[in-house]
Structure 1
Amino acid sequence: MSQLTQSAAWAALEQHQKSIAPQHMRDWFKADPQRAERMRLSAAGLTLDYSKNRANDETLSLLMDLAKQQGLNKLRVAMFSGETINNTEQRAVLHTALRANPSDSAWQPQADKIEAVQASLEKMRDFVEQVRAGQWHGYTGKAITDVVSIGIGGSFLGPKMASESLKPYWHESLSVHYVANVDGTAIADKLKGLDPETTLFVTSSKSFGTQETLANTLSARAWFYESGAGKQDVAKHFVAVTSNIKAATEFGIDENNLFPMWDWVGGRYSMWSAIGMPIALLIGFERFEEILKGAEAMDTHFMEAPIEQNMPVLMAMLGVWYANFFDSHAHVILSYDHYLRALPGYLQQLDMESNGKNVTRSGELVDYHTGPVIWGGEGTNGQHAYHQLLHQGTRVIPADFIMPLKSHNPIGEHHDMLASNCFGQTQALMQGKTLAEAQAELAGSQHSPEQLSLLAKHKVMPGNKPSNTILMERVTPYTLGALIALYEHRTFVQGVVWELNSFDQWGVELGKQLGNSVLSAIRDTHAEVELDASTEYLVNSFRQAKPQTLG
């Protein structure tokens, strides 16, 4: 048994869960008219209503005891101070420095990093303003009209999500397209209809050797050459965010068109850096800075607010409560804003790549649940699909509802209906429907007594299903930055409690390694690659299906 599960704070929560499990939230709301007011918190332009959770004051106090026991305060300071908390890769974790206020004296110990970040941002600003003003010309003298962003993982999901979320701020005559999948169809579809003379490619790869990203970049260059361009023209149409200057310049990219990446920023935490170049090109650099300011405001709240009134900490510890004491294996994110439709996919990587671990920082196997399965989508669409499972399924699946109070597109009563659906779903999940209520609802119907009895049972909803609701005035660069930082810190806190290194991803690395070995076997029948019988069959089937090259 681990020290965590044998600890006093853990034992107290286990005992408390037994007493609270039979209780129903609808009874708590009736007994405590101030519950909603007490369990509400605002920070950085966001408001969190966490009153619809299976938790009372004692629960929250015990959860905070667990956070303190696990050293949250110490590790929180260690992260912001640039200590090497990524112990398996011997790296600091300083994505917060990417959005830091350079005049804040608290960052003085990291002055060299802050200076490098500011220099990169200024370089980004100059480049973005040239492209958006039509002053960056392609090899035939035409201004850029389309940007193709090539990356994968954090170099793709964050920028794409932020771009979609901020569509009301897009440049009127500049389009951004994203390519990540190594499936040739992905880049082929993106390039159709684009003009090589007016297309700019932004490649994001720390090593400039990531298999998928490099393959897509090479295909983009081949497409570019087909237009009649030469190697001397690559510098006008390709820029890169990378650490490998040598590889990028050998590819043909001008060193002046390279933007830095640092080993103290993980890929899934990198959209605040030059990885966010496509966002800045699309919405403008000033609005990109607003994203940084929103995130910085949440950073300040996370560092300075007492943990009992700390939004990321509260959300994180409630997640721990369900994962470890209610045996919940999943967490659903429901965005009630069409522009935020890509957010759940982005949060999947953020959370599952960070905390999908079964080994502690010290290398011990865990004997408790860690990261849940993160899933979700647009709220109203989900109501006609998987919300059925949320309401009547047998598992506890906590839900986050995200709702802007104002729409960028106020058409008729659409936003009123959207809000009513969002708030009604949280009420229904909490309140449920009793058998007596179902029977009363059916009273006077034309059903026989037997049919009525059966139907009433099918209409019973247990309720007592937990949810958080996050409100903001409107989806803006500032509120989006704060929202993403909120989930970053939530993920960090849970990693602290579970004693994980949330900043490596060795499972991802294994997939890359084996994928490269299999690729060697596909390309060369004589390659000395060890394959299991199943994989060998799959490789042979693929080889046989490939068109034969005539000799």
Structure 2
Amino acid sequence: MAERVAIDPTACPAWSTLRHEAHRIRKESIRSLLQSDREFLRINAAGMSFDFSRQRLDSAAFESLIELAEQTGVRQAIDEMFAGTQVNSTEGRAALHVALRGRPSDSFTVDGEDVSDAVENVVGRMEVFADSVRSGAHRGATGERITDVVNIGIGGSDLGPAMAYQALRAYRDPNITCHFVSNVDPADIIDVLSHVTPEKTLFIIASKTFTTAETMINAEYARTWIVHHLGDSAIGAHFAAVSTAEQLADDFGIQRQNVFGFWDWVGGRYSLMSAVGLSTMLAIGPLRFRELLDGARAMDIHFRDTALADNAPVLMGLCAVWNRNFLQMSTSAVLPYSRDLARLPAYLQQLTMESNGKSIRSDGSPVTYGTGAIYWGEPGTNGQHSFFQLLHQGTDDVCSDIILAARPTSSDRQSGRQIDDQHDVLVAHALAQASVLSVGLTREEVAAAGVSEALVPHKVIPGNRPVSVIMMDQLTPFALGALLAAYEHSVFVQAAVWQINPFDQWGVELGKKVAGGIVDDIHHRQVDDPELDPATRASLAALLQR
């Protein structure tokens, strides 16, 4: 990647082999493939099990995928990322989010400097602050305890914390409720503020530069709200910041000791385990937050040290490449059988689609093959009663990740034996859907069940929808950390094969720039902005006439 000439993966011998393998595999069904030995597609890592046996590939295609990874330099790319090399080539930066979960004894270097102590320093400061808020030592301006935390951010500064807060429901402090504001639509912050009281509310402004437009608009609204109710002097007690712009945070009125920084080698969508996770730490406590980091670290170590063929994130990534480029599937469903993971699909949408939604290789040449798939999803069993019909019998094949915990959380189990029984129903549905999606139901099987001849074709389920089943023991902070790291590394593997940079997002940046110009046009009631295309000028004129 960085300092390496991008190659065309389609020119690799393994790519040509895989095209032939895909043609051959289309004549086989997953049902028939499951009759062979599939243990090579089942991996345990960081306390989790990854079962890729329901993928539509066999040992020959698997070996060719490993060869493709070798020929496109996946191992070298992994080593470069962990070494702090500038793998974010278009921005000239490292992408060393793995350092965020390293221990003090771990050595991670960026530009010749070991960053481990700096990371630990920030985490330590976060712990002191979180303990002071949770214990009541840090209070609001009127002496009230903080009971509500409002995280104001957008993108990775919102999706990660909001997802983690819901995912770790069973570990939250019942005396602190977290809220999340991201949308510049004023309804977002108005709604949140209607549920909190100024005297008991702490705001976290999460913006690396402290200039992110949507975030700062909401931050100013919150500041005005606090000043209106409590006065200017209350700002210091009711605001903290996650930012590297200390002076701007100071100008806002936030005390320096309550400003927590992170680094340009941490991308927004990889930032949950940096200071961006401050709201998560406030909710679950420093000890549990460390467990989240430990889970990610365990997966990092597995990814770094394990051979490609036995490496869970590598296989996740290669299965994604196989489905996207050789089986021609452009969409992937994320199906967590856990209400607590309801926000995971949205989080993974940003991680996968902002990272790998690229059409240019890292050397500036255009790709000639499909890259990032469209990711979407909804928790089971709700999704079964909305879009699963299309998954089972629609005209487009969709690959799926089914994610489940074998047992409910320990705190939920205290509610009684019925909880275990109900959870058994949940996981039974998860495994049943994995079976039906991949194996299906033949015409002969439908007819044998006594279905009328007229209805038989309507009840045939074709199967052959690839499914990966990812299982953890319980949804703990450790398990969540491992799961998120596995997806991060899977995205990286796909990018390495495709020879694209998964750490920039220039399309997003352009949209922000154009929006800024339109805001000026609205304020000045200018309808003939020559920088805008004709359709946008017409829409602007229609807007200003209302």
TM-score when normalising by structure 2: 0.95
What SS does structure 2 have at the residue aligned with 1:227?
helix
Q: Partners in 2 of 1:345 and 1:206 — Cα distance?
A: 21
Q: Distance in 2 between matches of 1:292 and 1:258?
A: 21
1:15 aligns with 2:20: yes
SS in 2 for 1:513: helix
**Alpha-carbon distance in structure 2 between the residues aligned to 1:217 and 1:191:** 12
- Verify the 8 A CA contact 1:208 1:244 in the aligned structure 2: yes
Question: Which of 419, 425, 430 is matched with 1:422 structurally?
Answer: 430
**Shift of the alpha carbon at 1:117?**
0.5
Could you tell me which runs of 5 or more consecutive residues in structure 1 were left unpaired when the two chains were aligned: 444-451, 546-551
**Deviation, structure 1 residue 24:** 1.1
Distance 2:545 2:34 in 1: 65
Per mean C-alpha deviation after superposition, the further-off stretch among 264-273 and 140-149 is 140-149
Which residue number in structure 2 is paired with residue 186 of structure 1?
Answer: 188
Quick check: 1:151 aligned with 2:127? no
Superposed, 1:528-539 pairs within 5 Å as: 530-539=531-540
- Report the equivalent of 1:513: 513
For 2:545 and 2:108, how far apart are their aligned partners in 1?
62
Q: Which amino acid aligns with 1:495?
A: A
For residues 320-469 of structure 1, what are the structure 2 equivalents within 5 Å? 320-408=321-409, 409-410=412-413, 411-412=418-419, 413-443=421-451, 452-469=452-469
Distance 1:238 1:376 in 2: 34
Deviation at 1:394, TM superposition (A): 2.2
Shift of 1:486: 0.2
CA–CA distance in 2 between the matches of 1:193 and 1:163?
17
Partner of 1:101: 103
Partner of 2:126: 124
Q: Deviations over 1:227-258 (max 9, x none)?
A: 1312x321111110111112111111112211
For the 8 Å contact 2:108–2:116, the answer to whether it is kept is no
Q: Deviations over 1:493-512 (max 9, x none)?
A: 00000000000000100110
2:32 maps to 27
What is the letter of the counterpart of residue 499 of structure 1? Q
Following TM superposition, the consecutive aligned residue runs of length 4 or more in structure 1 with deviations greater than 6 angstroms are 106-110
Query: Is this contact kept in 1: 2:242–2:259, CA < 8 A?
Result: yes
Mapped to 2, the partners of 1:134 and 1:148 lie a distance apart of 17
Number of the residue aligned with 1:243? 244
Q: Helix, strand or coil: the match of 1:201?
A: strand
Please tell me whether the aligned partners of residues 139 and 229 of structure 1 are also in contact (alpha carbons under 8 angstroms): no
TM-score (structure 1 length as normaliser): 0.94
- Residue 5 of structure 1 and its aligned partner are, at CA, apart by 1.5
134-143 or 411-420: bigger deviation? 411-420
Report the Cα distance in structure 2 between the residues aligned to 1:92 and 1:261, rounded to whole angstroms: 13
Larger deviation, residues 18-27 vs 82-91: 18-27
Cα RMSD for the two superposed structures: 1.5
CA distance in 2: counterparts of 1:109 and 1:88, whole angstroms = 16
Counterpart in the other structure of 1:52: 54
Deviation of the 1:103 alpha carbon: 1.1
CA distance in 2, matches of 1:191, 1:108: 41
1:220 corresponds to which of 210, 219, 222: 222
SS in 2 for 1:366: coil
Change over 3 Å in CA distance of 1:109–1:228 after alignment to 2: closer
Q: Which residue of 2 aligns with 1:549?
A: none
> How is 1:276-291 mapped onto 2 (pairs within 5 angstroms)?
276-291=277-292
Distance 1:52 1:245 in 2: 51
Tell me how far apart the structure 2 counterparts of residues 105 and 254 of structure 1 sit (CA, whole Å). Answer: 31
**Contact 1:521/1:529 (<8 A) preserved:** no
Given residue 198 of structure 1, which amino acid in structure 2 is its aligned partner? K
Name the CA shift for 1:105/1:228 in 2 (closer, same or farther; >3 Å).
closer
Matched, 1:494 2:491: no
Amino acid at match of 2:207: S
Task: Tell me, in whole angstroms, the C-alpha distance in 2 between the residues paired with 1:319 and 1:198.
Answer: 46
- Cα distance in 2 between the residues matched to 1:113 and 1:277: 19
Where 1:375 maps in the other structure, the secondary structure is strand
* Residue of 165, 179, 192 corresponding to 1:177: 179
State the alpha-carbon separation in 2 of the partners of residues 192 and 431 from structure 1. 50
Partner of 2:114 in structure 1?
112
Structure 2 counterpart of 1:11, which letter? S
Inter-CA distance 531–29: structure 2 relative to 1 (3 Å threshold): closer
What is the SS of the residue equivalent to 1:5? Answer: helix
Kept after mapping to 2: 8 A contact 1:520/1:529: no
- Structure 2: tracts of 5 or more residues without a match: 1-6
Percent sequence identity over aligned pairs? 42
Which amino acid is 2:463 matched to? G
CA contact (8 A) 1:390 1:397 kept: yes
How many positions carry a matched residue from both structures?
A: 532
**Deviation sequence 1:79-130 (CA, Å, 0-9, x none):** 0000111111000111000101221357699663111111101110100000
In the aligned structure 2, how far is the partner of 1:89 from the partner of 1:257?
29
Q: Deviations over 1:395-420 (max 9, x none)?
A: 22111100100113343521111111
Q: Could you tell me which residue of structure 1 aligns to residue 273 of structure 2?
A: 272
Provide closer, same or farther for how the CA distance between residues 506 and 106 of structure 1 changes in structure 2, counting only shifts above 3 A. closer
Contact 1:147/1:202 (8 A) holds in 2: yes
> Which of 2, 7, 10 lines up with 1:5 in the alignment?
10
Q: Deviations over 1:314-364 (max 9, x none)?
A: 011011001001110101110001101110110000000000000000001
Q: Secondary structure at the match of 2:449?
A: helix
Give 2:4's aligned residue.
none
Does the 8 Å CA contact 1:517/1:529 hold for their aligned counterparts? no
Q: Which piece of structure 1 moves more, 3-12 or 195-204?
A: 3-12
**Pairwise CA distance, 1:382:** 1.0
Deviation at 1:526, TM superposition (A): 4.9
Of 138-147 and 200-209, more deviation after overlay is shown by 138-147
Give 2:346's aligned amino acid: G
Contact 1:41 1:49 in 2 (8 A): yes
Could you say which residue in structure 2 is the equivalent of 1:208?
Answer: 210
Deviation readout 1:177-215 (Å, 9 max, x if unpaired): 000000000000000131111111000001111110000
2:512 pairs with 1:504: no
Partners in 1 of 2:8 and 2:502 — Cα distance?
Answer: 19
Looking at structure 2, the residues matched to 110 and 117 of structure 1 have their Cα atoms a distance apart, in angstroms, of 15
* Distance (whole Å) between structure 1 residues aligned to residue 14 and residue 262 of structure 2: 40
Secondary structure, aligned partner of 2:332: strand
Which position in structure 2 is the counterpart of 1:142?
144
8 Å CA contact 2:401–2:469 kept in 1: the answer is: yes
